[in-house]
Amino acid sequence: MATWQLRVAAVQLCSTHDQPANLARCRELTAQAAADGAQLVVLPECFSFLGRSEREKLGLAEAFDGTAPPGAVLATLRELAVKHAVWIVGGGTPERVPGDPRRAYNTALVVDPRGALIARYRKIHLFDVDIPGGAVLRESDSTARGEEPLVVDIAGAPVGVTICYDVRFPELYRRLVKDMGAEVLLVPAAFTAHTGAAHWHLLLRARAIEDQAWVVAAAQWGRHNEKRETYGHSLIVDPWGTIAAERAEGDGVVVATIDSAQVTRRRTQMPCLSHAVLWK
């Protein structure tokens, strides 16, 4: 494996229906992360918009295939990447679905320090649930399902990109690691307060342990409106499952230096990945 070292920042937000205000907060927190030496800044799911219903986002969906001028979201990410000379992952924002005005993709955008959009990941697993004692959410009513997993080289580090509910499906992460070579796993999220309290830490640490990879989870936190509250607890987990950094609540950033040395060390000491059987 190639050696690499990367200073990463997970940004924590309480986004609302006010897109300009959300993007302004992203500007402030990206500057804070860059001042702390971050080379990669990860924004949470719904960083650009979190409304009262899934359908509200459709009017803000942008095209990211070069067929239209950059909208407010992509323009902001490009601006911040260039200004601070950092990689930015916008962890989930509405993308237009050609020919389907009723749905948008939930798309994570990877922008390099030159401001180029080099990759995008469309969320594969959609959150359709009736939470006991909580909300009823049907993401698929207004969101199209993605199909392709993504691993992208970020400053020499092989990084797998996922979004929120994906974290409950270990087979996706095993593919990112075993088949595609990921050593860092991103999980930008807007985890509900109810499910987060029960499972957030367990799931993220489990993905780190079983795949012997770094996990960087940028989260939404707090009450966004009368219908939505998220758990927070942005964190960075090492390949042994130890939490290296965490922010429980409040807007802010979690920063840590991660490297390939710990990945190599754990995979050598406990060669689980070489023992794994991939069932057909």
- Check the CA dihedral 237-234-88-173 and report its sign: positive
**Active-site residue, selected from the candidate residues 46, 123, 139, 246:** 123
What is the greatest pairwise CA distance in the chain? 51
Residue 45: which residues within 8 A CB-CB, separation 6 or more? Answer: 91, 92, 106, 163, 164, 188, 189, 190, 220
For the question of residue 14 being annotated catalytic, the response is no
Catalytic residue among 46, 62, 164, 183: 164
Known active-site residue 139: no
Helix, strand or coil, per DSSP, at residue 47:
coil
Tokens encoding 84: 């601070």
SS3 call for 194:
helix
The residue annotated as part of the active site, out of 14, 26, 45, 246, is: 45
* Active-site residue flag, 46: no
Query: Which residues are part of the catalytic machinery?
Result: 45, 123, 164
